[in-house]
């Protein structure tokens, strides 16, 4: 079955700097890759996603890149702000079935 | 607003007791999921259901069972709870036909279970 690895497990950045979180997946059939943000004590919420027919997708300060050949995808956050502090999860699935999540990255944005 | 509701939000129980966590949704989605969250392990899929007559095991189904009572209701049971089932449990729904990617997951607020 699918296996998703995520690095780093913790990440601290200064406010205004960029943050990058990387994920690798094992099943080449996976074709949908969402990212979820979970603030402390809250439920996970989708922040951005990408399909396998696209190499990059941007939404304001957030971007995701996908390398199908290497089977890895990354989340990029620019101009980080304190409200970006949270745990971020990547996931992989085949047409939205059986989402397999990475272990999460705890991002801390320091003022 | 349409939402996913979990009950109870917090529960403390003893080893060997039967526990049921309930999930109801007003989103009108066919797909429902139960996930378990442990620190450093992400979200692990326990069971999922794509419609009322469909039940499927996830990565960590041992020790758990589910019931899909209606399109809007999906319950998770621990027949005989054990301490290593102490975790935060999330119910989620999705609707791949809604145009939100290939099925954005909408999570409930979570049920924190402690087994002593």
CB nearest to A32's CB, from B42, B101, B109: B101
Count other Cβ atoms within 10 Å, centred on residue A81: 12
CB pairs under 8 A between A and B: 63
* DSSP secondary structure letter of residue B97: G
Give me the pLDDT at residue B114, please. 96
Interface of A with B (CB under 8 A): 1, 4, 6, 9, 31-32, 34, 36, 42-46, 49, 51, 89, 91, 93, 95-104
Which residues of chain A lie closer than 8 angstroms to B46, CB-CB?
Answer: none
DSSP strand pairing (B42-51 vs B31-38): antiparallel
**Of B114, B93, B112, the residue nearest B30 (C-alpha):** B93
pLDDT in tens, B28-78: 999 999 999 998 778 999 999 999 999 999 989 999 999 999 999 999 999
Phi, psi of A83, deg, nearest 5: -70, -5
DSSP strand pairing (A86-94 vs A97-101): antiparallel
Q: Do B42 and A6 touch (CB under 8 A)?
A: yes
Q: Tokens 């999921």 map to which residue?
A: B33
pLDDT in tens, A5-34: 999 999 999 999 999 999 999 999 999 999
Q: Do B59 and A1 touch (CB under 8 A)?
A: yes
């Amino acid at each position: 079955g699918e296996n998703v690895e995520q690095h780093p497990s913790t990440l601290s950045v200064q406010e205004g700097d960029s943050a990058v979180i990387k994920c690798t997946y094992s099943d080449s059939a996976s074709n949908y890759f969402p990212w979820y943000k979970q603030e402390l004590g809250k439920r996970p919420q989708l922040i951005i996603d990408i399909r396998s027919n696209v190499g990059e997708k941007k939404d304001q300060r957030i971007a995701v890149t996908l390398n199908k050949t290497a089977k890895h995808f990354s989340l990029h956050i620019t101009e980080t702000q304190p409200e970006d502090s949270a745990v971020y999860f990547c996931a992989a699935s085949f047409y939205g079935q059986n989402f397999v999540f990475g272990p999460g990255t705890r991002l801390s944005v320091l003022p | 607003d349409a939402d996913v509701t979990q009950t109870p939000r917090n529960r403390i129980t003893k080893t060997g007791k039967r526990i049921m966590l309930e999930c109801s949704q007003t989103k009108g989605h066919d797909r429902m999921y139960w996930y378990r969250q442990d620190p450093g392990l992400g979200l692990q899929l326990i069971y999922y259901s794509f419609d009322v007559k469909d039940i499927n095991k996830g990565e960590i189904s041992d020790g758990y069972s589910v019931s899909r009572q209606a399109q809007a209701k999906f319950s998770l049971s621990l027949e005989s709870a054990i301490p290593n089932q102490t975790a935060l449990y999330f119910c989620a729904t999705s609707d791949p036909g809604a145009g939100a990617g290939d099925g954005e997951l909408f999570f409930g607020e979570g049920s924190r279970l402690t087994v002593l």
